[in-house]
Structure 1
């Protein structure tokens, strides 16, 4: 390793550490944010087991699960977007824009329409059902966007994803007509991107997907680096392009589907976080993947905290806060692509 490469590695590790530090800071700020106020001293005392019964209930049963879920969801969506951008070489690839989130949402909505979602077993089934819905959607998009002698065109991929997402959204609107008022209210909140799963059962249902798939994707960092060089170069270097692409696509679908099943329709995280990480640590996926995960976790956590704070005692769903940031950024990226 040359001196410049060693210096760049140290710099990137430092940036990753800074992102992790910001998450810790946001974590403590979020614990102190809510309708019932807890001072920073009370938060620290309660966190280490010295709070009263009311403070422990607020912190450990209401706020902490939601905070952990926000971080995990942000990581899952960000790494999913990072994978999709890598395998498609498309700067606009994102599980929300490509319709994968919509497919996961449709599966969850169908489940909620026919079954209760309050018992433990359905909660653990939600990520699996979302994975199946997202997977089927991804297969359809991949098939329609792929041409035998051309591969996947970045623009064709985006346009196909947008069209599929629009079709799924129409189906979901029709399905809302048969929902009970209680389920309709839940679905409306879910579609807005609210962190609705706010107890430890939801954390446990999402955690295995994050702990298994993100490390797996990290082991494929060199493959993603090679795929970014183009199909001809990657083939020349001995990579099995289509096989690796399908495996990585399955991982991206799993991360997005599991995250959406708990968080609802939060868009743009998979677009913003990888781009921010790429600006900070470059395009090598050994650093880009962890930086994207941390940036995504930080983004969703901050968005959820702002949503809980800005209109107390009411809340703004995290998905709306992210969209306020993400929509202008998406238009900015489109303008750059035209240039």
Structure 2
């Protein structure tokens, strides 16, 4: 290591490739060499709406996401790294060379901070990071770093399905088959919940949805995914007759797009007593009609990341092959390609999860 590392840096409204001071581990921290880091839709949202992002975090009382936008910020919170060195007062339980994942939180002298959204601790779009030793999870079974880095986004989908409390009569509908929607589909499939219906404008993403476990896919320009879900719903009553009252209670929708107007669109089109889980991160103000929710007796629930236990469980499932995440990796790039890739990802296409390898 020298005095400065290479990194893709959010610098006063622009994403640039430059140098950032090498992080130095404090007490209880570990220095890791970043081996892989996924690009998340939240990274794109932060670059486009940084002021709104930080303002919302402050209003919500999330102190771990306090950030000074006038300073350089190294994004990246979906990472896998290799242990390099230990700070003072660490127990050194994980030796140099061990691949590790971690919750994207570091505990240090300023308090808890979110990795990838901090001006004090660099994220995974740099060559090195410091992580909290107590939060490290060793990567098992020789799992490659690029797949281990998918633990974080897969845990987001797993948590959304966990809080949905899926019941036997539910027919899950996933709106949006980007990385978040695909993670939800994979979690539903792993839990053997079927049939799963998925909707996306992109034929490539619809194909990926089928590979990840969806039973049927819909192009919303040609068919209503909400009506398709009703048609696919299987009879649960005696004699195979499925009444409208039963159909109306079958819809469980995961909104995974995260753009203004989508929640309102879903509320307009679901059946009565439908349950909606909002997983897509919309950074901009939006509007809904509360009376629509009241007329239909809808339940709307917002999903926020995951628990530490869920994160560890997902890493184990990926390593054991219970969650096959390999179809999600559609590209691996180096640091120099990050700004152009961010620009390309703003237009949804064939890409699912792009992995940044800082050493490529």
Is the pair's TM-score, using the shorter chain for normalization, greater than 0.5? no
Higher share of residues assigned strand: 2
Structure with the bigger RCO (C-alpha within 8 Å, sep 6+) is 1
Query: How does the TM-score come out when normalised to structure 1?
Result: 0.28
Higher share of residues assigned helix: 1
Larger Rg: 2
Query: How does the TM-score come out when normalised to structure 2?
Result: 0.27
